[in-house]
Structure 1
Amino acid sequence: MEEALTCKKCKQTSSLPPSAQRIRCLGCQTLLSLSTTADAARSTTQELRLDLSKKKTEAKDLCSSLRRKLPFSTTTPPLPPQNTPFASLHSEPRPGRRALLCGVSYKKQKHELKGTALDVKKMKLLLESFRFPQESVLVLMEEGGFLPPTRENIEEGLRWLVRGIRPGDSLVFFFSGHGKRQREEVAGDEIDGFDETICPVDFEEKGMIVDNFINRTIVRPLVPGVTLHAIIESCHSGTILDLPHVCNARGEWEDNSPPSGAYKGTKGGKAICFSACEDYQLAADTTLLSSDREMTGAMTITFIKAIKESQERKEKISYKGIMDSMHNSIKEAGKSGGIFAGIRRRFHRRILQDPLLSSTEEFDTSSEFNL
């Protein structure tokens, strides 16, 4: 069988007859032999191997350089934890006590808040004292492996809160974040002409959650024997659940029903809301009310403080007792005129807010508070 030899000079290919060891190139007449061709092949192979080895070394050095720049040493970044010991957004809620806790920090945004994550942590501890099972508490936060408090997740969380409710269930909705107000969506739906809103982490892109939606989603479905407590730490939060009765500072109930006559009640259950301030007011983040000078929502820390102090004294506390304690604590802190490390409202150095109590029905506020 003839072999083909390629000349290194002119690249002409010539056929080597059987048994022949050498032949002249048909192009440039250079003497070709099997040995020179083999040497050339070996040389080419060696060059390719050296080039490949060089590229492998360069790639290895590049990977090492990248690893040094990353906050971890593995080639694949670790995924954030997907499971927590708390409830899952898509799990079936258990009967009895359950809660939805939302803390929105708006990280790396111009609206960033410092106290909301701590508000949620303190509220979780409070719920433990009222025997809320951890697996029945759904948390939405921007840290700790929880789902972020996006508009979609908060709205789905509100639906989760009332899914499959039955008589005897106790529900809690806690929100700490920004709140705003806007012109009412439906004419005659608000006494002051404004809807109140809460702001998810993506509200600038996806929009705010309006009080009408909150009322429709977690107030209207409440059946007899079910009680909902909402604790809302945000600006303009007074009537954020659109409840038809508001308790004034004198402990008297006032009618907050829509002028249009639209029904804002339940199917027989009861909803009660503690709000950080009245609809026209702004809520503060402060270090003044925390014993260790941590940044918290003024309403959240005073609400928890009132209940904890009664628990330590092994005394019962009423709704009126909580409201009175909150008003007094905020009033005393406001007198100091201290500068906050971060405030939910930017242009005041003092706390000028009045926590508000509202409900779907009038009740004796001296009755015992319980969750």
Structure 2
Amino acid sequence: MQDANHRDVQPHFAYSQCNGRKKALLIGINYFGQNGELRGCINDVQNIKKFLVSQWNYKESDMVVLTDDATNSRMQPTTANIVAAMQWLVRDAKPNDALFFHYSGHGGQTKDLDGDEGDGYDEVIYPVDFESSGHIVDDTMHDIMVKPLPEGCRLTAIFDSCHSGSALDLPYIYSTEGKIKEPNLAAEAGQGLLSAVGAYAKGDMGGVFKSAMGIIKTASGGQKKADKISKATRTSPADVISFSGCKDSQTSADAQEAGQATGAMSYAFVTALTTKHEQSYQELLNNIREILRSKYSQKPQLSSSHPMSTEIAFIC
């Protein structure tokens, strides 16, 4: 990582004991009456809220819940309210505090402007008023919720949205074997070629161009350069760990499970930890994937703000 003078330094961190103050921000957006209306996002928030209170000793008085069925305008998931709530979540954070962030709604991508994305695109989330106020970019969410946190403060983030693999811009992404993923240029170029062929077959010339540019970026070493930039500028002494519903290149399902509309990722996360309360991060990633494997193509991702052992127990 880099210090304030842009000099390379070794990352330092401390795992949080999560025995300090607990705070949670839960956001669910169904986009009532808009194109792409969803069904399960508000249910996701209610399920996560119940899960945190019953299993992890969070108090409703220390939660902010933003949903687009709220009658109080301050509780609507607008851009302004989401940013303000993110700032509230991390305000006065101290070592061993446990913060929890959950987002269920639409996600997407926009052109990367600072070179930290291997595919050339930043990930974004869409507030309920995105048509007038725009989206919120992963760089912004990282600046608000990760950078201010002190060493030893845990932030657990759950993104149940499309293109969410690196939605919090955390630079260390883990395989199901618990190892940090490194850029695989040959595999990424091959995947880019398949995407270009698929887009051409559908008559999607914009998709062909995007995939072709990705192949060029990979061939020129852009993936490794972006990975280096990400690790140098996004590594943090804070203890931030994120589970996301899919890879950056994938979509996340708005599903029907147990007779209720729900996001597939939110359902799998709660189900896995309700079935087995004590498990490691690697176990949890694999169990979430196993729950989704038979019905969904999305592959949930695990990422962190610093190198971590995925064999440690999940706590939040």
Q: Same fold (TM over 0.5)?
A: yes
Percent identity over paired residues? 35
Following superposition, the deviation at residue 144 of structure 1 comes to 4.3
Q: Does residue 292 of structure 2 align to residue 322 of structure 1?
A: no
- Is residue 218 from structure 1 mapped to residue 145 from structure 2 by the alignment? yes
Q: Which runs of 4+ in 1 moved over 6 A?
A: none
Counterpart of 1:108 (choices 8, 17, 33) is 33
Of 139, 143, 152, the match for 2:80: 152
CA distance in 1, matches of 2:96, 2:126: 31
Corresponding residue for 2:44? 119
Computed over aligned residues only, the root mean square deviation of the Cα atoms, in angstroms, reads 1.5
Structure number with greater Rg is 1
**Which structure has more RCO (C-alpha within 8 Å, separation ≥ 6)?**
2
2:92 aligned partner, one-letter code: G
Q: Which residue of 2 aligns with 1:273?
A: 242
Find 1:296's aligned residue among 243, 262, 265: 262
Q: Tell me what 2:59 maps to.
A: 133
- Contact kept, 8 Å, 1:161 with 1:171, in 2: the verdict is yes
TM-score using structure 2 length: 0.76
For residues 249 and 164 of structure 1, the distance between their equivalents in structure 2, rounded to whole angstroms, comes to 34
Secondary structure at the aligned position of 2:260 is classed as: coil
- 1:370 equivalent in alignment to 2:315: yes
Superposition deviation, residue 255 in structure 1: 4.6
In the alignment, the residues of structure 2 paired with residue 299 and residue 356 of structure 1 have an alpha-carbon distance, to the nearest angstrom, of 10
Give the deviation of 1:367 after TM superposition.
1.2
Aligned counterparts, 1:76-115, within 5 A: 96-115=21-40
CA contact 2:177–2:282 (8 Å) conserved in 1: no
Partner deviation per Cα, 1:59-95 (whole Å, 9 max, x = no partner): xxxxxxxxxxxxxxxxxxxxxxxxxxxxxxxxxxxx7
Structure 2: which 5+ residue stretches go unaligned?
Answer: 1-19, 184-225
Aligned residue type for 2:56:
F
Measure the CA separation in 2 of the matches of 1:131 and 1:144: 25
Counterpart residue type for residue 309 of structure 2: D
1:148 CA drift (Å)? 0.5
1:263 lines up with 2:233 in the alignment: yes
Once the two structures are superposed, the pairs formed by residues 190-205 of structure 1 within 5 Å of their partners are: 190-205=117-132
Change (3 A) 1:217 1:294: same
The residue that corresponds to 1:252 in the other structure is 179
- Of Structure 1 and Structure 2, the greater helix share is in 2
Please say if 1:283 is aligned against 2:209.
Answer: no
1:255-313 CA distances to partner (integer Å, 9 max, x unpaired)? 586444651133x21110000000000000111xx22x1110011101100100113xx
| Length, aligned pairs only | 251
- 1:251 Cα deviation (Å)? 2.3
Counterpart amino acid of 1:225? G
- Structure 2 residue matching 1:254: 3-state secondary structure: coil
CA contact 2:70–2:76 (8 Å) conserved in 1: no
